[in-house]
Structure 1
Amino acid sequence: MSERRRDYLEVRGIRVEFDGFVAVDGVDLTLLQGQVHFLIGPNGAGKTTVVDALTGLVKASGLASYDNHNLLDMPSHKIVRLGIGRTFQTATVFEELTVVQNLDIAGGVHRRAWSMLRPRRGVPDYVHAALETVGLTDLADRPAGVLSHGQKQWLEIGMLLVQDARVMLLDEPVAGMSGEERTQTGELLHRIGKERTIVVIEHDMDFVRAYADVVTVMSGGTVLAHGSVEEIRANPEVQRVYLGHTVEGAA
């Protein structure tokens, strides 16, 4: 039996087609643990579709190898149990429930069905740890609906932490955040990314420049360029795709 590897996600030749329209065509990615990896590109480039394919929300052909499994052959709930989680552009939290209740429910993904019916004795340690990591300890007993936009995004990241997600796919996590919240989010991603694979879809180029370890640029459903922020900024094809933006604006 081959060695089980959970320190990277290898994507080869992913293709997604909708009624004859090819949305993603032959995308290759190597997503390594310990890196904050950004996917950037114009609207319609295929970034979110790739993430949808990796999380079982759309059918795709090709290979997405993680822990000796091809994610493209698995349903969404099994992908979650394998340790792969995602967030969406709009936070999906239970607004009527408290922050800690949201985390406790999310942590149930790894509990057996019969144990979910048993009375809980206090808040599990991993929930407390997630609260501290995402900076929401002081708001633990507040309804999630009263949180700021940024705090809801942090709660979603906390919900991935309690699920023990080793791969986190985050769709525009800092959209609508204040400058201070963006800074806190970037620092959070680097803290939790040391032992995880973090992939961020993002349009905020200042945020990309500040926090990206690796950048992949997509255009028209394909990978246009891949490398460090400096390499991407210097790439003439990237500048061309961004239609006249300066090098500073390209990445």
Structure 2
Amino acid sequence: MNAQLDYVEIRDLTVEFDGFVAVDSVDLTLLQGRVHFLIGPNGAGKTTLVDAVTGLANASGLVRYGSTDLLGLKPHQVVRAGVGRTFQTATVFEQLTVLQNLDIAGGVHRKARSMMRARRGIPSYVEEALDAVGLVDLRDRPAGVLAHGQKQWLEIGMLLVQDAKVMLLDEPVAGMSAEEREETGELLRRIGTERTIAVIEHDMDFVRTFADVVTVMHAGKVLTEGTVAEIQANQKVQEVYLGRTVEGATHA
């Protein structure tokens, strides 16, 4: 494998809340160029793991991106280190336009002095993000009127203008139509070649279609990791997770 590829190295990551171990000594490597999915039952520790990586939960262990250990950094410092995340509910400024949301997000890398000056035109990185997420025609619409899927795409666009090289996405296709899910998967493939992308997801159809590698978590630990075919054939995974999906709905 190309030694120049970026990666996030997670070693012995542990998160504890009042004696309850939510993430238990997790080892995980996220590689650039692969769309990496985290799956598992509710309460498996997936979102808590992402919270720890992005400075929203206290943790022990090691989370290294490049030469930076992310543990102990404040959330805005994690963003400046090139790591961004989305939430299950899109966190956009609903009263502002799509363009304004992207411009504000891009301000994370602008100096305070330049933020005070009047802007001349639309920055090229904002134009590129609009095009990448398919929102060019909606640039002047308030974000609050966007469809659910479009808000998720806007959030991904906000990570693009922040120049996030690592993107951690929490259930980005929840509530989307089949067409929106397909468009989102293709978007992740396009932008994923130059980035490290990890997706928390319950929609197994989406996982089967777009995952390069899958990590299954259960009770705060990594149960197993592999390709979709390897995961589906794993007896332990069927017992703790996929069996519920087959017997019930698409979402576990």
Q: TM class, shorter-chain normalised?
A: over 0.9
The superposition leaves residues 120-167 of structure 1 with CA deviations (integer Å, 9 ceiling, x where unpaired) of 111101100000000000000111011000000000000000000000
Equivalent residues of 1:36, 1:189 under 8 A apart: yes
CA distance in 1, matches of 2:30, 2:64: 10
Q: Superposed, which structure 2 residues align to 1:80-95 within 5 Å?
A: 80-95=79-94
CA distance in 2, matches of 1:151, 1:250: 21
The Cα shift of 1:242 comes to 2.2
SS in 2 for 1:65: strand
CA distance in 2, matches of 1:17, 1:5: 34
CA distance in 2, matches of 1:178, 1:250: 14
Equivalent residues of 2:14, 2:60 under 8 A apart: yes
Q: Superposed, which structure 2 residues align to 1:120-159 within 5 Å?
A: 120-159=119-158
Give the root-mean-square deviation of aligned CA atoms.
1.8
Equivalent residues of 2:5, 2:31 under 8 A apart: no
| Code of the aligned partner of 2:62 | L
The Cα shift of 1:75 comes to 1.3
SS in 1 for 2:95: coil
1:198 paired to 2:183 = no
Question: Residue 101 of structure 2 corresponds to which residue in structure 1?
Answer: 102
Equivalent residues of 1:98, 1:144 under 8 A apart: yes
TM-score (norm 1): 0.95
| Code of the aligned partner of 2:135 | L
Regions of 4+ moved over 6 Å: 246-251
The Cα shift of 1:73 comes to 2.3
TM-score (norm 2): 0.95
CA distance in 1, matches of 2:183, 2:150: 10
The superposition leaves residues 59-110 of structure 1 with CA deviations (integer Å, 9 ceiling, x where unpaired) of 0000011111111121111110010000000000001100000000000000
| Code of the aligned partner of 1:134 | V
- Would the alpha carbon gap of residues 162 and 244 (structure 1) be closer, same or farther in structure 2, given more than 3 Å must change? closer
- Would the alpha carbon gap of residues 244 and 199 (structure 1) be closer, same or farther in structure 2, given more than 3 Å must change? closer
The Cα shift of 1:20 comes to 0.7
Question: Residue 48 of structure 1 corresponds to which residue in structure 2?
Answer: 47
CA distance in 1, matches of 2:44, 2:115: 41
Structure 2: 5+ residue stretches without partners: none
- Would the alpha carbon gap of residues 230 and 6 (structure 1) be closer, same or farther in structure 2, given more than 3 Å must change? closer
Identity %: 73
The Cα shift of 1:202 comes to 0.2
Q: Superposed, which structure 2 residues align to 1:157-172 within 5 Å?
A: 157-172=156-171
| Code of the aligned partner of 2:85 | R
Equivalent residues of 2:202, 2:251 under 8 A apart: no
The Cα shift of 1:53 comes to 0.3
The Cα shift of 1:113 comes to 1.0
Equivalent residues of 1:217, 1:226 under 8 A apart: yes
CA distance in 1, matches of 2:243, 2:202: 16
- Would the alpha carbon gap of residues 206 and 243 (structure 1) be closer, same or farther in structure 2, given more than 3 Å must change? closer
Question: Residue 116 of structure 1 corresponds to which residue in structure 2?
Answer: 115
SS in 2 for 1:56: coil
| Code of the aligned partner of 1:221 | G
CA distance in 2, matches of 1:194, 1:244: 32
The Cα shift of 1:244 comes to 3.9
Question: Residue 213 of structure 2 corresponds to which residue in structure 1?
Answer: 214
| Code of the aligned partner of 1:139 | L
The superposition leaves residues 165-222 of structure 1 with CA deviations (integer Å, 9 ceiling, x where unpaired) of 0000000000000000000000000000000001000000000000000000000000
| Code of the aligned partner of 1:34 | G
CA distance in 2, matches of 1:117, 1:161: 22
Q: Superposed, which structure 2 residues align to 1:233-248 within 5 Å?
A: 233-242=232-241, 244-245=243-244
Aligned length: 248
| Code of the aligned partner of 1:152 | K
